[in-house]
Structure 1
Amino acid sequence: MNELSMITATDLVDRYRSNTVSPVEATEAALQAIEQFQDRVNAFVLVDPDGALAVAAESERRWQQGRPLGPLDGVPMSIKDIFLTDGWPTLRGSKLIDKAGPWTEDAPAVARLRAGGAVFLGKTTTPEYAWKGVTDSPAYGATGNPWDAHHHAGGSSGGSATAVGLGMGPVSIGTDGGGSVRIPASFTGTTALKPTYGLIPMYPPSPFGTLSHAGPMTRTVADAAILLDLITGFDHRDWSAMPTPQGSFADGLGDGVEGLRIGFSADLGYGRNAPGVLAAVRDAVTVFAEAGAQVTEVDPGFADPVEAFHVLWFSGAAKVLQGHDEEFDSIDPGLRRIVETGRGFNASDYLDATAVRMAMGVTMGAFHTDYDLLITPTMPITSFGTERQAPEGWPSQLWTSWTPYTYPFNMTQQPALSVPCGFSDGLPVGLQIVGPRHADRLVLRAGQAFQDRTDWHLRLPNLITG
């Protein structure tokens, strides 16, 4: 395997600057990784080698002239097939969307990356309309995990996580409406951030409303910070977009966690963890204490909001499929079931669920007056086989039943970062770092402090090591 494919975006740019590696060479390495692994893991729905190499050649000329367009100019990357991308179809894992287009518009994040000279390799897999926590669909099949191709990569941004994990471009962008960048990050041993809602503008508006975020998917926190710099900022097409941030998210990244007050909750007061996951997470928490943080074991104080989340999520799914009754049999059977449930909710149900969100926001606001950060497991389990929709013997097939620590923070719109923190039975375990709304820099700083003291993010997956 070409070693260039596993170099971080930050290191690639340093090598472009010193003229020891070119964007064309890096893009060729990423394309070789795609050729090597795509048939085994099914991470991409579209790959454009010729287009990527042409953009890489343009970037190479800019670097030679000392005029890069931005901090990721010439870095090969992928895009989840949820984001509109000029010239490429956006099919959202569904057979219902007409591939013919026309496809003439970029989503805000895609437009910013294109303007910054990023090299688009292709589009990555998603479950149909990004509705669940594993990545499979009637249109494209299942996406495998870099550590075991017969295990799920997680979802709904599973294709992006697997691509990053196997060197098919060092970075990607995904979406997260209930854990969709963090679940696959945990399952694949990669890094992903769900930022504060509105920080990354979203267009077109998601049918899942203000649960849906976009986020960077990378191997390191440093790469996530740089990618976040590029894809944040006000866009008039998003009515809820925040003002453009001042400064870089990489500023202060290495300042450490000394003196920070960190609350650690092993289960948020209602979850249950596999023993190996809990052991890895508890070991990870000691890293923060050894780095000078004040760590206290404490639950944040809210009950499992899953029923309220279901009202919000299932109603959104019903809206997605509105007008497609004649094609209902062609969609994911699990999606059909939640659509049927979602059609039964009324405005009062929706408002009651929204009230649960608001109460959670108050609770977490109070929590963060005492604690700067909250740490939890990202997932209570490791990945499971692609033939299943839930772990073997699990009491429910609903994806929310085995993702209890991710969707709450979509409801509260807080920044939440997943970093790899160990293994259980040979599969990665993720650690989730949650901050108050607008404390994205602090969350990234804590993640960097952890990665400065551990090497879990540097481990190469089994498909690479053989």
Structure 2
Amino acid sequence: MVASKSQERAGAAPAMELMSTSEDSKAEYMYVTVRAPRLAAFPLKCFTWLLETGVTSSLLLPKLKKDNLITKTFLESRYEEPPMYIPQYAHEIVELVQEHMVNRVEPGVMPTVRVKSAVEGLAPHMVRDANNKVEEKQGFRHWTIRDYAQAYTSGRLTPTQVAERFLSAVEDSNPGMNLFIAVDSRDMLAQAAAATERYKQGKPLSVLDGVPIAVKDEIDCLPYATTGGTTWLGKARQVKEDAEAVKRLRSCGAVLAGKTNMHELGMGTTGINPHYGASRNPYEKTRVSGGSSGGSAAAVAAGICPAALGVDGGGSVRMPAGLCGIVGFKATFGRTSNAGVLPLNWTVGMLGTLTGSVEDALIMYAAMHGALPDDDIVSFPPPANLPLLKDSDQESTGGIAKLMGDLKFAKYSKWFDDSDEPVRNACYRALQLVQKSFNTKIVEVTVPELEEMRLAHFVTIGSEVTTSIGGDYRKLGVDSSGADVRVGFSIYDSFNNREFIAAQRMRFRQMHYHLEIFKKADIIITPTTGATAPPLRSNAENCGELDYGIGAKLMRFQIAGNFLGLPALSVPIGHDEAGLPIGLQLIGRPWSEATLLQVAAVIEKLCSPFRRQPEVLYDLLL
């Protein structure tokens, strides 16, 4: 919680001139000035004690809620809308999703068939030399899933050799980088041996066969416990089978390669975990990787694996992807099954992927997507489309040029510009490149009540996590949890039914605001984060930290993807002067995953000259 005040001020001037059309709106953008001190080490422990002590807690919590506008927003305001307890979408918006240059995926198709269809829609694979170079001029690129498959089919490497290199890289990086919580070498080598035999027989299951994929410690994956980054949750919850997404990846031959580090219970933006160490940013080891899927993001950015699974409850996939210079993608709520994902938050948390490229995001999506009949969703997904990315290299001709020329980007300039100058400049440069290449239209819009939506999401995610695991936390976890987690639970326990229901009424309002925007435009564009990766301070590593000033910057553009369940993607577009990565976020209409991936592939190519190699990089295919 942060003490904050709102003020009206002029937005920062655009870094570059863009052609756009405007809409009239009387809504004002609320700039929030954070007044909360950063707390770590002994001061944080003292604050935790005060919140957990009856008398001081009864005095502090009401003041915190009042200072943070929760009282005004949810108890004093009167909303006419009914509550919306789970994301649901109007049919008229679903009918607007007319995606082109796609292959439709019919229900019931096996994951291996979907992956084959996705690969067939990609441009011909460019085989890179041992120095990871191709003929065309471009910046740094990670090895892709197809690069791994090519190394295997050519006989240059086997999945077993790559698994051994993976294990060596993990051993070398941990504990220094703190990317993994658990890796079972015997299990991984057994998976790799089976894949190696399939390649010897000329019968790989798919392009994913033998490819190492890491799994966030919030997703069930045998033989591991799922602890959510804690030391106690594995004792309260037994893992009996793989999560549905993991099952689908296994059926494609993927080698599930261990559980990645995460911010404890997903309750933070930095990736600092007092039990397993802070997962560090491969572009600068003294910087955070981001939360909560920081271990997954950093493992991909460091080249230890081409793809990893994460869970996105408040930007927890897109945020670390942006900070670590990779692609972070989450689909529409309900598009991919959450079965077997730790139930920390039912209506805002969604499975996502972290990959080194957009094409790998597509391959992972093809393998994993598809709801189960008993998934707890309201708007059941329409048939999915897999985009044809083979035209993305043609910047001015072919179908992609028409697709991009027909698109409309929605941009709320005051919100967009509420970011640090290096972030803002890089994002404007990316948009200018898109407009110069395709004359894509940019529509100026307004998103009302953004701060109210952030608070509503905070009340919702907090209420859900304390309802889901609060009982086990009070029995097993209080004394062994980090101080930032204990502060979070103290605040979450203070939310009442009036605040929760008011937050769900705000969800209804925000769904209306966003769906109205999608009648005018196809994609909402924002920076992924308002700042590049912040420093990792030594006094935070043992007990965590509370720094809501930084947290507000990192989460500024993330909330709609979770609170409203909209598909969203972060694509890397460059770096600041210190070499820290910057991402651009695309937020799409419900069920428009194919369009997001198509546009992201175009932006990825346009901005590829600006990408740099990370400081920490392991090459498993060299």
Residue matched to 1:274 = 420
Could you list the per-position Cα deviations for residues 135-181 of structure 1 after superposition, in whole angstroms to 9, with x for gaps in the alignment? 12232121100011121000100000000011111100100001000
Residue matched to 2:433 = 287
Shift in alpha-carbon separation, 1:364–1:100, aligned structure 2, 3 A? closer
Contact 1:234 1:244 (C-alpha < 8 Å) held by counterparts: no
1:345 aligned onto 2:483: no
Aligned partner of 1:315 among 448, 458, 463:
463
**Cα displacement (A) at 1:246:** 4.6
**Cα displacement (A) at 1:134:** 1.6
Shift in alpha-carbon separation, 1:448–1:201, aligned structure 2, 3 A? same
Aligned partner of 1:84 among 205, 217, 220:
220
1:411 aligned onto 2:563: yes
Aligned partner of 1:262 among 409, 415, 421:
409
**Cα displacement (A) at 1:352:** 1.2
Shift in alpha-carbon separation, 1:118–1:249, aligned structure 2, 3 A? farther
1:377 aligned onto 2:527: yes
Shift in alpha-carbon separation, 1:398–1:458, aligned structure 2, 3 A? closer
Aligned partner of 1:359 among 495, 509, 519:
509
Unpaired runs of 5+ residues, structure 1, are: none
Aligned partner of 1:335 among 477, 480, 485:
485
Unpaired runs of 5+ residues, structure 2, are: 1-129, 133-140, 393-398, 541-545
1:426 aligned onto 2:579: yes
Contact 1:226 1:250 (C-alpha < 8 Å) held by counterparts: no
Shift in alpha-carbon separation, 1:253–1:21, aligned structure 2, 3 A? farther
Residue matched to 2:17 = none
Residue matched to 2:105 = none
Residue matched to 1:15 = 151
Contact 1:77 1:168 (C-alpha < 8 Å) held by counterparts: no
Q: How many aligned residue pairs are there? A: 459
CA distance in 2 between counterparts of 1:374 and 1:436 reads 9
CA distance in 2 between counterparts of 1:98 and 1:464 reads 32
Could you list the per-position Cα deviations for residues 352-372 of structure 1 after superposition, in whole angstroms to 9, with x for gaps in the alignment? 111111211111111111111
Shift in alpha-carbon separation, 1:111–1:37, aligned structure 2, 3 A? same
Contact 1:264 1:285 (C-alpha < 8 Å) held by counterparts: no
Shift in alpha-carbon separation, 1:231–1:225, aligned structure 2, 3 A? same
Residue matched to 2:244 = 108
Could you list the per-position Cα deviations for residues 327-351 of structure 1 after superposition, in whole angstroms to 9, with x for gaps in the alignment? 4232122222222222222222212
Instruction: Tell me which amino acid in the other structure corresponds to 1:42.
Output: N
Aligned partner of 1:229 among 352, 366, 373:
366
CA distance in 2 between counterparts of 1:361 and 1:116 reads 36
1:45 aligned onto 2:181: yes
Query: Higher RCO, 1 or 2 (CA under 8 Å, sep at least 6)?
Result: 2
Instruction: Tell me which amino acid in the other structure corresponds to 2:461.
Output: W
Could you list the per-position Cα deviations for residues 31-77 of structure 1 after superposition, in whole angstroms to 9, with x for gaps in the alignment? 33323322321000012233222211211222232322233111111
RMSD: 2.6
Residue matched to 2:331 = 195
134-143 or 4-13, which moves further after superposition?
Answer: 4-13
Question: In structure 1, the residue corresponding to 2:557 is in which secondary structure?
Answer: coil
Shift in alpha-carbon separation, 1:273–1:398, aligned structure 2, 3 A? closer
Considering only CA atoms, is the larger Rg found in Structure 1 or Structure 2?
2
Shift in alpha-carbon separation, 1:89–1:250, aligned structure 2, 3 A? farther
Residue matched to 1:239 = 376
218-227 or 109-118, which moves further after superposition?
Answer: 109-118
Residue matched to 1:306 = 454
**Cα displacement (A) at 1:324:** 3.1
Contact 1:31 1:168 (C-alpha < 8 Å) held by counterparts: no
1:459 aligned onto 2:605: no
**Cα displacement (A) at 1:99:** 5.3
1:27 aligned onto 2:163: yes
148-157 or 400-409, which moves further after superposition?
Answer: 400-409
CA distance in 2 between counterparts of 1:443 and 1:217 reads 15
Could you list the per-position Cα deviations for residues 250-297 of structure 1 after superposition, in whole angstroms to 9, with x for gaps in the alignment? 56773532321112345537x721111111111111121123142325
